[in-house]
Structure 1
Amino acid sequence: MKAVLFDLFGVIARVQSPESMAALERTAGADPDRFWAAYWSQRPPYDRGEVTGPGYWQAVCAHLGIPPDRRLTEELTAADLAGWGEIDQRTVDLLGHLADRGIVLGLLSNIPEDLAARFEATQPWLERFRVRGLSCRIGSAKPEPAAYEWCIRELGLPPGEILFVDDRPENVRAARRLGLQGHVFTSPEALRRSLEAALT
């Protein structure tokens, strides 16, 4: 193993909390089940950079039958970005530990441009990654093979020398089908133990 390719949300950054999800539901003023069905069904083009934030929220509102306006779109965007901003410092510390040991670091994240720009402006640890495969900029998202293939090319290593870490088993399975090693993330401590075993 010469490189570790990290997922972002659910591994380094935390997923949406119940409080942040409730804030989005209140802002939209929609039934929660219908809201989240619309939220996720319209998300792939946003993550791949095919639509802007306003375009994404207009599609969500259309799905819900809510007339979108500029103010509502801005409020939904702000609430959404806030809900994805919490970092797990334990995993950030692990990045430094791996970099100090000469391990090449890569990032592969399904992330829209609005959120990517915010992370780049506020999270200096992103500079540790030699390769940043952000779905909004590479035009493909996990578990599409093209997303992993882009990272493999940019890392310049055989797939078998790259460990992919993600909290979603289906994304890890997709990576393994392309020859990468895989680790389903459950906690920073479990990942650290697995990495230590691989590096000794």
Structure 2
Amino acid sequence: MTVRAVIFDIGNVLIRWHPEGWFDARIGPARRASLFGAVDIHAMMQRIDAGAPFGATIEETAIAHPGWTAEIRAIRDHWTEIAQPAIDGSVRLLHALRRAGVPVFALSNFGAENFPLSEAQFPFLRDFDRRYISGRMGLAKPDPAIFAAVEADCGLPPETLLFTDDRADNIAAARARGWRTHLFTTPDALAACLTSHDLITEEQIT
């Protein structure tokens, strides 16, 4: 069956998400390693992605770790410096699909309160036909319920959806529902996938 919509993850597909690198540059790799060893930063962000409030959750975590208060609060205060830059090759593919008339959706684990900050920084995040943001939905990948919610909202058969994500567990969850999938590694590999499905041509990618 023909692909009728392409669904993009955002973090590490359209926008780089690697907080370790940001902290390496500011407090050094050794202190960053100590920070991430003492505080489960990614678990904190997963709670935010699932619907917990952005600022309050970070503040709660900061208070619980008095030795790392400033570093934890930096994630709130410097969000747009940390969640960047844009992955330009992927953004070009998003726009090529739109020019070709292919519906494009976003399905991302992203907090409801910090997503608007990134949206203001990267206007291309508005360039989707539908956006499924986990913090707004109260569901997060790889929970099968979030994929079911997408299907129910868009009304398209699972086998007509092509989903790209950088995490293997999210890809496996989508595939289990019958979605077509592409494990994201590079924009060039994603471009090859899209052209193989006759969604766009190499000439349309600019």
> Under a length normalisation based on structure 1, what TM-score does the superposition of the two structures give?
0.85
- Pick from 29, 34, 40 the counterpart of residue 38 of structure 1: 40
For the Cα contact (< 8 Å) 2:58–2:76, is it kept in 1? Answer: no
For the Cα contact (< 8 Å) 1:106–1:155, is it kept in 2? Answer: no
Work out the percentage of aligned pairs sharing the same amino acid.
28
1:55 aligns with: 57
State the alpha-carbon separation in 2 of the partners of residues 25 and 138 from structure 1.
35
Q: Deviations over 1:99-127 (max 9, x none)?
A: 12221100011112332011222322223
State the alpha-carbon separation in 2 of the partners of residues 96 and 33 from structure 1.
36
Closer, same or farther in 2 for the Cα pair 1:189/1:74, shift >3 Å? same
1:113 aligns with: 112
Closer, same or farther in 2 for the Cα pair 1:43/1:172, shift >3 Å? same
Structure 2 unaligned regions, length at least 5: 200-206
Give, in angstroms, the shift of residue 61 of structure 1: 4.4
Q: In the alignment, residue 55 of structure 2 is paired with which amino acid?
A: G
> Under a length normalisation based on structure 2, what TM-score does the superposition of the two structures give?
0.83
State the alpha-carbon separation in 2 of the partners of residues 162 and 96 from structure 1.
18
1:3 aligns with: 5
2:193 aligns with: 194
The alignment covers a number of residue pairs equal to 194
2:123 aligns with: 124
Structure 1 residue matching 2:107: 3-state secondary structure: strand
Closer, same or farther in 2 for the Cα pair 1:2/1:38, shift >3 Å? same
State the alpha-carbon separation in 1 of the partners of residues 37 and 76 from structure 2.
18
Closer, same or farther in 2 for the Cα pair 1:187/1:54, shift >3 Å? same
Which contiguous aligned blocks of 4+ residues in structure 1 show a shift greater than 6 angstroms? Answer: none
Q: In the alignment, residue 20 of structure 1 is paired with which amino acid?
A: W
